[in-house]
Amino acid sequence: MTVTGSGIRPGQGSLPVGFRVALDRRTRRLDDGAVLLGGAPPRLLRLSAAARQLLADGTCTVTGPTSAALARRLLDAGIGHPIAEPASAVPSSAEVTVVVPVKDRVAGVARLLAALPSGLGGLLVVDDGSADAAAVRAVAEGAGATVLRHSSARGPAAARNAGLAAATTPLVAFLDSDVVPLTGWLEPLLARFADPAVGLAAPRIVALPPAGTLPRIDGLLAAYEAVRSSLDLGPDPALVVPRSRVAYVPSAALLVRRAAVGAGFDEGMQVAEDVDLVLRLHAAGWRLRYEPAARVAHDHRTTLRAWWLRKAYYGTGAAPLALRHPGSVPPMVLSPWSAAVGALLLLGTPRAVQAAVAVSVVAAERLARRLPVDRPRAAAARLVAMGVVGTLAQTADAVTRHYWPVSAAACLVSRRARRTVIFVAVAEGIVDWWRHRGRDPHAKPGLPGYVLAHRLDDLAYGAGLWWGALRHRTVEPLRPIGPAALAAGHPPAGRAGASDSGRPSGLIRKGE
């Protein structure tokens, strides 16, 4: 299945004059602003004097080819994000067709359609074999939508594709029938398409407040989902890049360029078809943006059985993804030194911790010899410290999520393993609660309930992961990869830039 339209090159076109980019809040300036550290995945960019001048206030405004080249480099490296666009370059809502796939969720469709803005270029409801087709049709046509119907259920991917094929506008928004777009959700997404390289933009998925009072366990899960849903990718904008902080976006709500997605979703995939689309678009060269200023509320599952089964279902998608896109969804990405640090820290003895510190120091010293900065040891120390934090997070995930069956087996035969697993499970849960507890002002999950739900979440996903691997007879979704494989699967971030005369400008003097 292709992801580009006929005659359309991914990323064709230049950033318009007036387009403005700001540095990501995580980006760090080194060497008095001559070097930027950040991005997805993290890298160092050394700037020329001209580039430093263009970025003096932390933003870059496109005024010509030179500034456009710098802005493109920052965007494609994930070091900067768009913050303003010329109005003339932003598509209007009349260029958008909304496609709503549905099966039997009549009340949800009615709620969604009532929340949509006026002035859309099209509105299509695709009935994927609902038992009461007349009820779906009445609600949809009452809201001015055109109804397409599959006589029998073919799955959400096929339903979205049917709407995509019927759409005639340049942009298509997919909204599932269990979401409610919040006021102003569309405009920030449309702004991302002022960049002609963007093929997909996704909003932040937040929790739809539950109606009435929930039972105790359901209320616990609702609070947890409000701040830790698998669909909520956080409050910060991001370039969507495999194996990075925002590695995918869910299909619950998406805005896509019709010329980019071609025939759309792979109908042969019953799970993770949205991640598959993201991976194919990324491989084809399209830029994908996550824009949390756009918010769409989702009616989360909050009953224990339905919630747990959905989490396990997500886990089953790793195996088909790993087979279709080798190395795209690894459980861990570790260099030899970080793998050694993780193993030593798991041992937990004073000598092992000392050895982990020694390995980190040696790694920093070796890295410092290769860094093109004025103070290489300081930069190397920061990079290695970031690596250690990442290693700790990945190791904790490995113990409690991806490889929990192995952890459970070790606990049966080793007292030390039991102590280690319990410590990791509790410590990681507390840290995760601290990081996520404030994401939704309407939800205040307590620490004990949060940690319990978080561990059940990990058990469910891990169970689905291992079941999927067994079912597909593959170990690919369980196999860690090294940074060399990561780099091999990550396309170049784009041109370094061009001067006003069209020749290379040297804005970026040293690469990643």
Token pair for residue 384?
């290695």
Among 242, 271, 306, residue at a domain's last position = 306
Provide the 8-state DSSP code for 496. -
pLDDT score at 309: 97
**Helix (H) or strand (E) segment spanning residue 341:** helix 336-347
Say whether 398 sits in a helix, a strand or coil. helix
Q: Give dist(CA 335, CA 34) in Å, integer.
A: 27
Total tally of structural domains belonging to the chain: 3
Examine residue 213 and state whether it is found in any structural domain, yes or no. Answer: yes
User: Based on the domain organization, do 99 and 203 belong to the same domain?
Assistant: yes
163 lies in some domain: yes
Give yes or no: residues 97 and 40 share one domain.
no
Residue 110 and residue 32 share a domain = no
User: What local confidence, expressed as pLDDT, does residue 492 receive?
Assistant: 35
Q: Is residue 254 part of a domain?
A: yes
| 225 C-beta neighbours (distance < 10 Å), count | 24
User: C-alpha 152: how far from its chain's center?
Assistant: 32
In the chain, what is the greatest distance between 2 CA atoms, to the nearest angstrom?
A: 71
- Does residue 175 lie in a domain region? yes
**One domain, residues 131 and 213:** yes
Query: β-pairing, 171-175 with 96-102?
Result: parallel
DSSP bridge pairs for 181: 296
pLDDT at residue number 379: 87
Q: Does 223 reside within a domain?
A: yes
Instruction: Give the CATH number, domain containing residue 172.
Output: 3.90.550.10
For residue 397, the SS3 value is helix
Q: Are residues 268 and 167 in the same domain?
A: yes
For residue 124, what are the domain limits?
Answer: 91-306
Residue 475 tokens read as 């170990």
Q: Are residues 147 and 241 located together in one domain of the fold?
A: yes
Could you tell me if residue 4 is inside a domain? no
| Residue 235: partners with Cβ closer than 8 Å, 6 or more residues away | 204, 292, 439
Sign for the pseudo-dihedral over CA of 79, 81, 83, 85 = positive
Domain end residue (candidates: 396, 416, 450): 396
Q: Smallest Cα–Cα separation from 139: which of 119, 153, 125, 154?
A: 125
Please indicate, yes or no, whether residues 154 and 285 belong to a single structural domain of this protein: yes
**Looking at 379, 396, 413, which one is the last position of a domain?**
396
**Residue 320 belongs to a domain:** no
Verify that 299 and 371 share a domain, yes or no.
no
Asked if 449 and 421 count as a contact pair (C-beta separation under 8 A), the reply is: no
**Which H or E run contains 207?**
strand 198-207
Within this chain, do residues 368 and 249 fall inside the same structural domain, yes or no? no
Residue 370 in domain: yes
Give the single-character DSSP code of 402: I
Q: Do residue 140 and residue 240 come from a single domain?
A: yes
Residue 260 shares a structural domain with residue 237 = yes
| Neighbouring residues of 497: CB distance < 8 A, sequence distance ≥ 6 | 51, 66, 68, 69, 70, 72, 73, 504, 505, 506, 507, 508
Structure-token pair, residue 474: 């593959």
Q: Cβ atoms within 10 A of the Cβ of 215, count?
A: 11
If asked whether residues 123 and 41 sit together in one domain, one would say no
What is the pTM for the complete model shown? 0.90
pLDDT of the chain, 512 residues: tens digit per residue: 444 444 456 766 799 999 999 999 999 998 888 899 998 778 888 899 999 999 999 999 999 999 999 999 999 999 999 999 999 999 999 999 999 999 999 999 999 999 999 999 999 999 999 999 999 999 999 999 999 999 999 999 999 999 999 999 999 999 999 999 999 999 999 999 999 999 999 999 999 976 665 565 568 999 999 999 999 999 999 999 988 899 999 999 999 999 999 999 999 998 999 999 999 999 999 999 999 999 999 999 999 999 999 999 999 999 999 999 998 889 998 889 999 999 999 988 899 999 999 999 999 999 999 988 888 898 899 889 988 999 999 999 999 999 999 999 999 999 999 999 999 999 999 999 999 999 998 888 999 999 999 999 999 999 999 999 999 999 999 999 887 655 544 433 332 332 222 222 334 333 33
Rounded CA-CA distance 512/483 in Å is 13
